[in-house]
Structure 1
Amino acid sequence: MSAAETKLPIYLDADACPVKDETYRVAARYGLTVYVVANSVLNLPREPWIVRVVVGSALDAADDWIAERAGRGSIVLTADVPLAARCVKTGATVLAFTGKPFSEASIGMTLATRDLMQSLREAGTITGGPPPFSRTDRSSFLSALDRAVNRILRERP
């Protein structure tokens, strides 16, 4: 099935994304278009199915661009929980860079946990961030993205 037939876009929240190469590999396998959305120009492979989108430096400009286009039948890749929440509401399939899916059932608790952790960091109670990105995270992401693409393609008429 060609990208024109699938019309399954992948929206990649690319600023600080550790899985760009993995995303390109899965997209190439299925003939999908990847929209690489960032606040600044990034070096990307020169492929017709990789679309660079530079949104400028306005706060949440990349998030707004992605959220305005995401919907059922699209995949959003992000570590940004508020963006994930916006996209889940549109029916998009949303994955974290570790492969963890965001869903209607989980997004409320994920937002609450994010807000709690942010408050604890601001209060100085917690000074560290998330653990370093691992090979296991990369592998989990690849598997989750492949499953998501296959699920969406199976659900199509």
Structure 2
Amino acid sequence: MSSVLYVDADACPVKSEISLIAKEFNWHVRFIASYDHKPNREEESGEWIFVDPGRDSADLYILNHINRNDVLITQDIGLASLVLPKGVYALSSRGTEYKEESIGIALDFRYLAAKERERGNYGKGPKPFSIDDRRNFETSLRRLLSKIEGE
């Protein structure tokens, strides 16, 4: 079976872009979302798979079905850290490619931020998703799929 582009779709802001780019490269897309986040209409082309409500249902589905050389689009650093050892490519919705050699640092920062929130220090949170973020994502996904096709 050929490689698949998996999308952790519950809070993904670039679903339309993923659909378009996947068509350009002739990749099959699987949007994984919980029934809690089911859209009124599945406007993006690709396969939609809905899982039970709950925090980790989509993550568990992805972990159990994703294979070597597949691509995962997710904002979840923890999920990315679990698929990288399987030989999966992982990309954030802002266009950052997760790599095994740097994912540990990202997990450490996530842990420290969670500890600060427990102390009541909430900080500013993530910056709003911008047009530049969207463009960066499109460029990064095209670059990644081109790289995979060239291997």
TM-score scaled by length of structure 2 = 0.92
- Give 1:117 deviation, angstroms: 0.8
How far apart, CA to CA, are the structure 1 residues paired with 2:86 and 2:25?
23
1:93 equivalent to 2:56? Answer no
Pick from 139, 147, 150: which aligns with 2:146? 150
AA matched with 2:76? D
What secondary structure sits across from 2:125 in the alignment?
coil
CA contact (8 A) 2:73 2:91 kept: yes
| SS state at 1:108 partner | helix
2:4 alignment counterpart: 9
Identify which of 93, 104, 108 aligns with 1:108: 104
2:20 counterpart of 1:22:
no
**Displacement, 1:112?**
0.6
Sequence identity percentage:
32
What is the aligned length? 148
Q: CA deviation at 1:93?
A: 0.4
SS in 1 for 2:134: helix
User: Partners of 1:154 and 1:109 in 2: how far apart?
Assistant: 29
8 Å Cα contact 2:84-2:100 kept in structure 1: yes
Look up the match of 2:65.
69
| Cα distance in 2 between the residues matched to 1:150 and 1:109 | 27
1:44 equivalent in alignment to 2:42: yes
After superposing on structure 2, the runs of 4+ consecutive aligned residues of structure 1 that deviate more than 3 Å are: none
**Aligned-residue RMSD, C-alpha:** 1.4
Listed as ranges, the gaps of 5+ residues in structure 2 are: none
